[in-house]
């Protein structure tokens, strides 16, 4: 059995008891990566020299009390890491080998003595739901490598599911942590907007993006969020609100918890086996003393349209900095300054990124701003009000994370509308800014994981974690492992 089959708390106990060393953990991470990553392609860059040096240093340290002491993790490749290549899985940043600073979330991990073993694959600039938009190589699902891992944090979810690291950081703009967590059978949390600093996260859509952890268990997830959450003066959208000890909320006692189940989240388009798994999960909650009622999120049907207008508009503005002059690889075929801009962008950006930039530029253009961008902002407000109304009477909202399980590589790549619609259950959470978590709640007939999504009130991640942990401890889904490369 791999060391990574243990929880972070169990690993911590082994380190304190001198049963293992930090170097053992790092060795195990790179051994596993060498064994399976040729099939999974979760990592784009490995930071082996620095990781091993840090492990040696920690094994000689007198103080081992840091929250993530010696724990190996991976960082999504759109989160800046000092001196370590950061590409956003784009050819445009292929030469970004030596960033000058760490993202705040990365620095907080370092402060608690976690070890980053490398940078994780993703859809280019976080635009995609399958990881097939990586300009390097698509990540594969560890449960079946013929299938996608989800996106855009597909590498982050796959690395945890495949036993390559104990935790990872992803980013979530419209479901990019929760959907791959669902597809890969792991736990992924999108915190409340403003709970985690975005400083050092390469921006896609600044009003929607949020960094969050992916782990194997709810308790591990809560522990990582405790570390990376908190106010940051470098991020003006960071909330100046105290961070609770999320791990102390994991009591397993949810008697009296009031659960709302939106009828739209179990309607047409949700696969029968997904719907059945959610209904079974609700029976588990009933057995634990919780109650649930059907409710409505009437404006959720407009969420996908509003999201793609708003996120693409923000992407159009954010990605304008990539011009081959200040940022990005400069075209070698340019004869003048206009050519530098045009050719650098046309050669550097992939097709999905170009598509969204053009859509966003159109939505912001004169004559169309009111018809598209402004209207989408109004819909966003209505969606937020839907959540506010439900949370007047309920503690959490429960439903599927994705309407289907993972699909085959290449199956939807030429059908973008169907692919976009697959995010219909995660996107409203980002538009409203509330927290949401995905955790395993079953498996399809062909052995692919099904994700349960739990949505909470603003800055109430504690209740979300409590509800998730109670379900996890009452079931066995989280104990199953993909058999990729043998037992892990």
Residues paired with 213 in a beta bridge:
169
Q: Is 402 a catalytic residue?
A: no
Nearest to 189 by CA among 202, 199, 198, 180: 180
Burial readout 321-334 (b: 16 or more C-beta within 10 A, e: otherwise): ebbbeebbbbbeeb
Choosing from 29, 54, 67, 76, the catalytic residue is 76
Tens digit of each residue's pLDDT (9 = 90 or more) over 244-264: 999 999 988 999 999 999 999
Choosing from 29, 135, 176, 344, the catalytic residue is 176
CA–CA separation, 357 vs 318, rounded Å?
9
Q: Return the pLDDT at 486.
A: 52
CA–CA separation, 220 vs 465, rounded Å?
11
Mean pLDDT of the chain: 95
**Residue 347 φ/ψ, nearest 5 degrees:** -85, -30
Q: Is 152 a catalytic residue?
A: yes
Residue bearing the bigger pLDDT, 109 or 324: 109
Task: Say how far residue 177 (Cα) sits from the centre of its chain.
Answer: 2
Tens digit of each residue's pLDDT (9 = 90 or more) over 7-44: 999 999 999 999 999 999 999 999 999 999 999 999 99
Flag whether pLDDT at 154 surpasses 90. Answer: yes
Mean pLDDT of 149-166: 97
End-to-end CA distance of the chain, in Å?
6
Q: Are the beta carbons of 126 and 154 closer than 8 angstroms?
A: no
The DSSP-derived string for 122-154 is -SGGG--SSSTT-SS----BTTBTTB---SSSH
Flag whether pLDDT at 475 surpasses 90. Answer: yes
Structure tokens at 251: 């009591």
Q: Return the pLDDT at 173.
A: 98
Mean pLDDT of 306-327: 93
Residue bearing the bigger pLDDT, 5 or 355: 355
Mean pLDDT of 450-459: 98
pTM score, whole prediction: 0.96
Q: Is 171 a catalytic residue?
A: no
- Total residue length of the chain: 488
**Helices of type H across 162-302:** 178-184, 218-228, 272-287
**Residue 41 φ/ψ, nearest 5 degrees:** 60, 45
Choosing from 67, 116, 135, 152, the catalytic residue is 152
Mean pLDDT of 171-200: 98
Flag whether pLDDT at 487 surpasses 70. Answer: no
Q: Are the beta carbons of 192 and 241 closer than 8 angstroms?
A: no
Flag whether pLDDT at 413 surpasses 80. Answer: no
Residues paired with 294 in a beta bridge:
261
Flag whether pLDDT at 488 surpasses 80. Answer: no
CA–CA separation, 72 vs 433, rounded Å?
30
When pLDDT is cut at 50, 70 and 90, the band that residue 417 belongs to is low
């Amino acid at each position: 059995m791999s060391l990574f089959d243990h929880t972070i708390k169990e690993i911590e106990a082994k380190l304190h008891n001198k049963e293992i060393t930090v170097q053992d953990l790092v060795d195990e991470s790179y051994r596993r990566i060498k064994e399976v990553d040729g099939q999974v392609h979760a990592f784009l860059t490995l930071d082996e020299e620095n990781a091993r040096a840090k492990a040696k240093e920690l094994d000689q340290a007198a103080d081992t009390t840091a929250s993530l002491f010696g724990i190996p993790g991976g960082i999504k490749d759109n989160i800046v890491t000092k001196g370590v290549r950061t590409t956003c899985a784009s050819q445009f940043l292929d030469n970004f080998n030596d960033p000058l600073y760490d993202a705040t979330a990365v620095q907080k991990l370092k402060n608690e003595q976690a070890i980053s073993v490398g940078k994780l694959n993703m859809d280019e600039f976080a635009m995609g739901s399958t990881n097939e938009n990586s300009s390097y190589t698509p990540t594969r699902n560890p449960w079946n490598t013929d299938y996608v891992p989800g996106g855009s944090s597909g590498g982050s979810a796959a690395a945890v599911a495949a036993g390559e690291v104990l935790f990872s950081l992803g980013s979530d703009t419209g479901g990019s942590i929760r959907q791959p967590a669902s597809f890969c059978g792991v736990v992924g949390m999108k915190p409340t907007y403003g709970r985690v600093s975005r400083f050092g996260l390469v921006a896609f859509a600044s009003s929607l993006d949020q960094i969050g952890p992916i782990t194997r268990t709810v308790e591990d997830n809560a522990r990582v969020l405790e570390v990376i959450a908190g106010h940051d003066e470098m991020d003006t959208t960071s909330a100046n609100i105290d961070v609770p000890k999320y791990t102390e909320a994991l009591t397993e006692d949810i008697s009296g918890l009031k659960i709302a189940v939106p009828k739209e989240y179990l309607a047409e388009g949700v696969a029968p086996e997904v719907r059945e798994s959610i209904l079974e999960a609700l029976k588990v909650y009933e057995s634990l003393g919780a109650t649930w009622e059907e409710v409505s999120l009437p404006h959720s049907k407009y969420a996908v349209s509003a999201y793609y207008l708003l996120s693409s508009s923000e992407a159009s503005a954010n990605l304008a900095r990539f011009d081959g002059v200040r940022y990005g690889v400069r075209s070698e075929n340019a004869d003048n300054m206009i050519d530098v801009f045009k050719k650098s962008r046309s050669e550097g950006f992939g097709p999905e990124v170009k598509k969204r930039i053009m859509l966003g530029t159109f939505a912001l253009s004169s004559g169309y701003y009111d018809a598209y961008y402004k209207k989408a902002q109004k819909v966003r407000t209505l969606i937020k009000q839907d959540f506010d109304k439900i949370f007047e009477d309920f503690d959490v909202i429960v439903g599927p994370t994705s309407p289907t399980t993972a699909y085959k590589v290449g199956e939807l790549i030429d059908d973008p509308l169907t692919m976009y619609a697959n995010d219909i259950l995660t996107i409203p959470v980002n538009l409203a800014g509330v927290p949401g978590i995905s955790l395993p709640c079953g498996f399809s007939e062909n052995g692919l994981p099904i994700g349960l999504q739990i949505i909470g009130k603003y800055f109430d991640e504690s209740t979300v974690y409590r509800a998730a942990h109670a379900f996890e401890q009452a079931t066995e889904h989280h104990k199953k492992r993909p058999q990729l490369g043998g037992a892990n």
